[in-house]
Amino acid sequence: MAANLIFMQSVSSTNSSFIRPSSFYISGLYNIPHAKYYYVFLCFVYAVTVLGNLFIMGTIYLARSLHTAKFIAVFNLALSDLCGSSALIPKLLDMFLFENQYISYEACLANMFFVYVFMTLQSLTLLAMAYDRLIAICFPLRYHAIVTKPAMTLIICVMWILSVSVIALMVALVTRLSFCRSTTVNSYYCDHAPVYKLACNDNSVNSIMGYVCMAALLYIPLILIALSYVCIGFALQKISHGAERIKAIKTCTSHVILVAMFYLPIIGIYTAGLTTSINTNVRIINTALTQTIPPMLNPIIYTLETEEVLQSIKVLYKQTKVNSAMEKAVKRFVRN
C-alpha cells in the first residue's frame, strides 16, 4: 500500500513537471533592416511557384501524349513543390508581414509535419525520376515493360506512405518533450531541430531521429541518384553514334539540374550546421531560399528543357485557338 502511494506521488510529480506550451514564438530574421522586403520577395516566389506548378500539372493532365510513367513522377514532383511551398510561405508571410509571430502548439506541429513531408516527397520523387532515366538509357529495349504506369503509380504510393509514416513519427516524438524555458524558435517556421532543442527533458531520441531522417530521406536518395548516373555514364560510353549519345544526355539534363538545385544547397546548409557554427540569420536566409527557389524553378526548367512538354504545350495552344475560332463561328451562325 505504501509502495503504491509512493508510485502515485511520483507520477503526479512527473506530470506536474511536464510543460506543454500553448504557443511558440517564431523569431525569424533578427535585427536585419528592411527584412520585410525579403518576405515580399518570398511572396513573389510563391506566386510564381503556384502558377508554374499548376501550369505543368494542367499540361500533363490535358495532354494525352504525357500520360506516361515518366510524367506521373513529374506530376508528383509538381504537386509536392506546390504543397510544400503552400505549407511554408503563406504562414511565413502572415507571421512576419503582419507581425503575427505566435503559433499555437498544435499548429506548430502541423506546420512541421507538412513542411517535412513535402520536402521528403520532393527528394524521393527525384530518386524515382532517376530510376526512370536509368532504365530508359541502360535497358532501352525493356523500358516500356519495366517502367509501366502501374509500376510508377505503386512507387509513388510507397513514397507517400513512407514519407507520411516517418515524418509522423518524428513529429510525434516532439510531444514527449517538456518546454519549461524559452519557447522562442530561432527559425522562420516550426523547424524540427530549433524546436526540440528548447526542451528541458531528454531530447536525445529526437536528435537521433533527426539524423536518421536526414540520412534516409536526403543523403541516401542523393547517393542512389549519383550511382544511377554512374551507371548511365557507363551506358553512354557504349553508344557508338554521337548523335544518339547527345540525345540520351539531353533526356537527363533537366533532371540533373533539378537534383543539383534541390540537394546541393540544402545538404550544404545541414552539413555546415553540423560541423561549424552558422549565424542564425545566415542559416534562416539560406534555408528559406533552398526550400522555396527550387519549387519555383522546377516547372520552368522542365518546360524549357523537355521536348515532350514543349510539343504538348504547342499542341494544346493550337487546340485552344481552334476551339476558340469554332466557338466564334458558331456564335456568328446563331446570330445570323
Residue 25: name the closest of 112, 101, 94 by CA: 101
Statement to judge: residues 239 and 317 lie in one domain: no
Residue 10 included in any domain: no
Statement to judge: residues 272 and 311 lie in one domain: no
Residue 11 included in any domain: no
Statement to judge: residues 83 and 59 lie in one domain: yes
pLDDT > 60? residue 7 = no
Residue 8 included in any domain: no
pLDDT score, position 17: 66
How many whole angstroms separate alpha carbon 229 and alpha carbon 215?
A: 20
How many whole angstroms separate alpha carbon 292 and alpha carbon 14?
A: 42
**207: which 3 cell numbers?**
536528435
How many whole angstroms separate alpha carbon 203 and alpha carbon 224?
A: 31
Residue 336 pLDDT grade (very low, low, confident, very high; cuts 50, 70, 90): low
Q: Per the structure, how many domains does the chain have?
A: 2
pLDDT score, position 143: 92
pLDDT > 50? residue 15 = no
pTM of the predicted model, to two decimals?
A: 0.87
Residue 78 pLDDT grade (very low, low, confident, very high; cuts 50, 70, 90): very high
pLDDT > 50? residue 2 = no
Statement to judge: residues 312 and 276 lie in one domain: no
| 68-77, 190-199, 249-258: the lowest-pLDDT one | 249-258
**Mean predicted lDDT score pLDDT of the chain:** 85
DSSP one-letter string for 200-251: SS--HHHHHHHHHHHIIIIIHHHHHHHHHHHHHHHHHHT---HHHHHHHHHH
How many whole angstroms separate alpha carbon 264 and alpha carbon 3?
A: 57
pLDDT per position as a tens digit, 211-239 = 899 888 889 999 999 999 999 988 888 87
Backbone angles phi, psi at 104, to 5 degrees: -65, 160
Residue 5 included in any domain: no
Residue 291 pLDDT grade (very low, low, confident, very high; cuts 50, 70, 90): confident
Residue 17 included in any domain: no
pLDDT > 50? residue 10 = no
Range of the domain at 211: 32-305
- The SS3 assignment for 52 reads helix
Statement to judge: residues 289 and 324 lie in one domain: no
pLDDT > 90? residue 13 = no
Statement to judge: residues 107 and 225 lie in one domain: yes
Does an H or E element contain 251, and which?
Answer: helix 242-275
Give the residue-averaged pLDDT of 115-135.
94
